[in-house]
Structure 1
Amino acid sequence: MAKKTVEPAKRPVVLIIRDGWGYNPDPAEDAYNAIKRANTPTDDMLMSEYPNGLIHTFGEWVGLPDGTMGNSEVGHQNIGAGRIVPQESVRLSHAIRDGSFFENQVFLEMIAFLKKRGGKLHLMGLCSDIGVHSRLDHLYGLLELAKRNGLKDVFVHCFMDGRDSPPDSGAGYIGAVQDNALRIGVGRIATVMGRFYAMDRDSRWDRVQKAYECLRVGKGLKAASAAMAVAQSYAKGVTDEFIEPTCVVDEDNSPIATIQDGDGVVFFNFRGDRPREISRA
């Protein structure tokens, strides 16, 4: 049988990605639809004269949990692969459900080291359930891992969202983290700060320095509890994304925990772009 050959394209094919250019079929929303209200002759021509279709860019269609909104990284990855690519968040959640997460040798070796040396475990990441950078069930899985292995000195460093989530939703997320830590039986919130400081990715090192100093040496604002840290910020008109690095302190006004040599640190964000600078610091 003769081998089939692929005929070379006679004309170039161009893939153009218009980031943020969406489509809403509901005419009731036209008054609030910037694209519909704009003068778009090129788009009008393309849509009327050439074949076109709509694609799904969220949830299981792009390898995310059902109902989770998509983002540029996920969209580009699926387009480049030409297939659905299960995202890190989905694989992590599945590993927690099937139990393999709790058998991860890297985690177990770190825990054994901390128990031998008396070190603390620090869990830091974006405290939000939007699913763009992190998921709270991954944090709870780490707390459960610590509980199962007898670690008691476990501290959470909450980076507040307010960018992908509503700007004043952080108080609810702090409450959820505290409630689940109590349910699991391990973990205390040690610092609270906005992603503006802790998750910069544009070499604004002055911001990163403030986050680092809060995490490492306890320099920054102080609050008697994580909930109070958020409330104090809201009282000044500063919402989640921009909450200044704040240490939770004890009765002696000293931070309940800072990251010291010999401690273990796990960054529970699953996207790698925004943890790089603070991790490097």
Structure 2
Amino acid sequence: MHNTITKYNYFKRLTLTSLTASLLLLQACDKFEYSPYEIRLRDNERELNQKNINRILEQNIAEDATITFALISDTQGYYKDTETIVTHLNNLDGVQFVLHNGDITDFGLLKEFRLINERLGKLNAPLVTVIGNHDAVSNGMQLYKEMYGPYNFSFVAGHSKFIFINTNYWEFNGAALDLNWLESELSDRDAYKQVFVLSHIPPTSPAFGEANAARYRELMNKYKVSMSIHGHNHSFETYQLEDGGTKYMNVGEADDQEFILMRVNNENVSFERISTKGES
């Protein structure tokens, strides 16, 4: 009887030891997921915005050049449509960078960030993103910051300045929309031929915050912003909120099977809607 118990304990310890070793091996290989809410990024998944901004700066775009860039938005779960858009963009000549107007993911989970990054990471051109409201749920706020970087930032390419601002007022409990920071970024407006402000939620949405929307519109007009560009509404639209004021654009979702191609020079801003329907 004593020997039977001893053998049982031995095999029990052996089984537990083997299971523990297997779990540690899976963890080391980054194949074991403890929780969908975990944050465990690889080195090549960190600070993606700054890495891609550096790639844009390395192009040394001349101040008198025409800049060609693409706009996409709301890829949240539309993996096949995103793949098709990426393929189409890679087959176009002259696209210098791609800008994503938020809602990269649907539920702000690591698996989603990783799945969409695997697809968007195949773009030949550098990709720069802004945080969307769906990216800010669960623990997406921290994930976005670690994977892509700060919520508010800017960069300059040739004659144009691009300003990205977090407008997810509800998800950040009213703490989003640092309009003092935005005005500081706009204060050197005269140094650039064109200035673009990009965010996810447009000022026409209640989720922007009424007081924020009023001041935002004032800043756009005061500093003669070339275009204020957004996502969120899941449909394409261009409009002006005041006669002679700043022009606004809402970029459609990836499920619309299209993207926007912008061409910008010292004097003009033009765009076209490029359909990917029927492509695979």
What TM-score does the superposition give when structure 1 sets the normalisation length?
0.32
Normalized per residue, which structure has more strand? 2
Normalized per residue, which structure has more helix? 1
| Larger RCO: 1 or 2 (CA < 8 Å, sep 6+) | 2
